[in-house]
Amino acid sequence: MDNLSNLMRVLFIFLLFLSSFLVHSRVSFIPDPPNLNAENYLLIDHRTQRILAEKGADERIEPASITKLMTGYVVADQINKGFIGLEDDVLVSENCWKKVGSRMFIEAGKKVSVEDLLKGMVIQSGNDATCQLAEHIAGSEEGFIDLMQSYVQDLELKDTNFINSSGWPDNNHYSTARDLAKLSSRLISDYPDHYDLYKEKWFIFNGIKQRNRNSLLWQDDSIDGIKTGHTESAGYCLVSSAEREQTRLIALTFKSDNERTRITDNRRLLDYGFRYYKTRKILTSGQIVISESVWGGEEEYLGLSVKDDIFLTQNPRDFDKINVVTHLDDYLQAPVLEGDRVGDVILELDGETLYRGDLVAGSTVLSKGIINRVWSSLQLFIYSFLMEDEEKKD
């Protein structure tokens, strides 16, 4: 009996050690994304563009009023370039006044500022406001569509074709969750002042108060956009974004059954992402990663750094396990100028490469006089020859 007890005790200790070893030596377990009602969805980190969950992200979908993100991007860019201004008074055309669907309720023959039209498009999802912005920028809706398509090309939206500015249903009007995620991310990065509009909950125009259709804005203060969409053929769509503790996620859901499931689908994606992932800065621009010797230089060693800040999106438990590895393209030989690429910096987790980028000179190292330089070159030649010989022996 004592022998059996001792055996059980040893087995228990062994299993405890084994489980501890597995926990500390492997990447943390992350469960599969939640089951959603939406037919297509995508969840990405805005800064690193890491995909955290997806289904049918490259299938063509009808974007409905999500199209207005592109119209908003074009308007913001035109304002930034000085072609139009927020204070511009725009005469409302009969064509735009007649637009059906969701409306801002502008009136033909009256003037409305670009700023109010933008709010009407973003907050109220007004097709009339969208039409009027398009006409103001390009002279006609048709001209604006050509302009939109040029932005599609510039943003490298590879499977997107817009033939109207508001998202009105048409078989030739389509995009994908992946393309719309890229567009949403660029909108947030390129025009943050414009993006501030997408978190506004209400807008009053012409005595009519309308609420933002994105109900998530009332559920969580970290959620600050972006846009809803709905037609009978497209179903219920939503692109949302939230930022918590310097991690910003973008969730896109398409073809949900109704408004309630649209909100539930999107919220579940965001909650999943924030629960299991965080985005952190791993290396800072200019941070010295390693020092290496320099042949023929006035300085014996040179600190090597990264050019840009490097961020990763991971399970929080895995950040301490990330290894920084460096590889030189060749031996360092003066002169070396600050910022020169000299090799690669690699971030690894459990043998998997998470990031590979340029390793650069952190400062300038000038070469010695010509005699010392020739002597150093000869030394380097002999050294490299001996090293190659040693490698062949190995």
Q: Are 344 and 358 in contact (CB under 8 A)?
A: yes
Angle at 277 between CA 237 and CA 219, to 5 degrees: 45
The Cα-based distances of 237 to 72, 138, 353 in angstroms read: 18, 28, 35
Amino acid at 258: N
Q: Are 313 and 345 in contact (CB under 8 A)?
A: no
Nearest CA among 283, 280, 323 for reference residue 25 = 323
Q: Which helix (H) or strand (E) segment is 142 a member of? A: helix 141-154
- Helix 141-154 × helix 127-138 angle, to 10°: 80
Nearest CA among 65, 40, 33 for reference residue 255 = 40
Active-site positions read 65, 68, 125
